[in-house]
């Protein structure tokens, strides 16, 4: 069975011995079948809300800067941005190399560099050296760019609900059973089957725990920098 929205819904239908949905009737479902679709999305939302940095939600973004503009808004789907990943991309056209930006505290920016937002003197612009996280889902570049540099950074997105029958979830296919277990929890609640809902919930939570152990938990280590002769 294909790994897409309709495939996941039919995984649930198969477990409950219900008639499978088709590409013809998928968009017009009602009642139980509509709830199955909601349950699949709810299970995925639950997984995404368990951690900020699931690897399948990782995005590398490229943004063209505008000369003289220092403030930029977050991508609309950004959950959390890694401010240690900002860099200016090498460009033979603009004559710059790759430059990694150093994070700067917002309070320090206000103390030392805030005047750049009001100063119209173009001689103060250049290749950005610092990146500032603001309290308002914006970031600031210091100094203001003097050219249309390519800014590269990485973030983790919020995730998305599936709508079309052939929409594909961000989670890798080997974890489809975890999504289905989560959906089964909601469907059994819909059917007032408390015992099976509780069992599905336990299986779902164990699956999320497994995902966390595989993709989030890390063993920290210290590198030995001693010089041996």
* Residue 58 located in a structural domain: no
Residue 178 shares a structural domain with residue 204: yes
Total structural domains in the chain?
Answer: 2
* Closest to 179 in 3D by CA, of 30, 1, 53, 3: 3
* Closest to 108 in 3D by CA, of 140, 67, 79: 140
pLDDT in tens, 30-82: 999 999 999 999 999 999 999 999 999 999 999 999 999 999 999 999 999 99
Question: Which of 148, 171, 195 is the endpoint of a domain?
Answer: 148
* Residue 221 located in a structural domain: no
Residue 80 shares a structural domain with residue 128: yes
Question: Which of 148, 169, 190 is the endpoint of a domain?
Answer: 148
Question: Which of 92, 117, 148 is the endpoint of a domain?
Answer: 148
Which residues span the domain enclosing 17? 5-53+158-213
Would the pLDDT of 6 be above 60? yes
* Residue 85 located in a structural domain: yes
Residue 72 shares a structural domain with residue 130: yes
Residue 180 shares a structural domain with residue 125: no
Q: How far is it, in rounded angstroms, from Cα 128 to Cα 66? A: 12
pLDDT in tens, 109-147: 999 999 999 998 999 999 999 999 999 999 999 999 999
- Length, in residues, of the chain: 229
Residue 144 shares a structural domain with residue 162: no
156 vs 225, more confident: 156
CB contact set of 120 (below 8 Å; sequence gap of 6+): none
pTM, 2 dp? 0.83
* Residue 153 located in a structural domain: no
Residue 70 shares a structural domain with residue 135: yes
* Residue 225 located in a structural domain: no
pLDDT at 216: 86
* Closest to 127 in 3D by CA, of 90, 154, 156: 90
What is the DSSP secondary-structure string of 180-213? HHHHHHHHHHHTT-HHHHHHHHHHHHHHHHHHHH
At residue 154, the 3 state secondary structure works out as: strand
Residue 14 shares a structural domain with residue 83: no
* Residue 227 located in a structural domain: no
Residue 132 shares a structural domain with residue 162: no
Residue 71 shares a structural domain with residue 136: yes
pLDDT at 1: 76
What is the layout of strands, in order, in the sheet containing 150-157? 58-64, 150-157, 78-88, 99-100
* Closest to 182 in 3D by CA, of 164, 213, 205: 205
pLDDT at 223: 58
* Residue 228 located in a structural domain: no
pLDDT in tens, 197-228: 999 999 999 999 999 999 987 655 555 556 55
Residues 157-186 have a mean pLDDT of 96
Residue 162 shares a structural domain with residue 49: yes
In this structure, are residues 58 and 75 in contact, taking their beta carbons and an 8 Å threshold? no
């Amino acid at each position: 069975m294909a790994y897409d929205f309709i495939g996941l819904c039919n995984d649930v239908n198969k477990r409950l011995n219900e008639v499978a949905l088709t590409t013809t009737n998928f968009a017009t479902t009602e009642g139980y079948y509509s709830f199955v679709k909601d349950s699949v999305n709810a299970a995925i939302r639950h997984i995404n809300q368990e951690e900020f940095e699931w690897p399948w939600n990782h995005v590398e973004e490229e943004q063209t800067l505008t000369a003289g503009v220092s403030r930029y808004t977050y991508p609309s789907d950004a959950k959390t941005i890694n401010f240690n990943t900002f860099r200016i991309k090498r460009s033979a056209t603009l004559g710059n190399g790759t430059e990694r930006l150093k994070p700067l505290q917002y309070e320090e920016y206000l103390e030392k560099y805030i005047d750049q937002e009001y100063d119209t003197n173009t001689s103060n612009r250049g290749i950005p050296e610092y990146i500032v996280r603001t309290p308002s889902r914006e970031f600031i570049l210091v100094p203001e760019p003097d050219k249309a540099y390519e800014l590269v950074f990485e973030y983790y997105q919020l995730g998305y609900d599936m709508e079309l029958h052939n929409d594909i979830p961000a989670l890798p296919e080997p974890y489809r059973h975890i999504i289905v277990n989560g959906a089964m929890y909601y469907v059994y609640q819909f059917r007032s089957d408390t015992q099976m809902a509780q069992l599905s919930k336990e299986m779902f939570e164990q699956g999320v725990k497994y995902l966390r152990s595989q993709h989030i938990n890390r063993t920290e280590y210290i590198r030995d920098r001693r010089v041996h002769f």
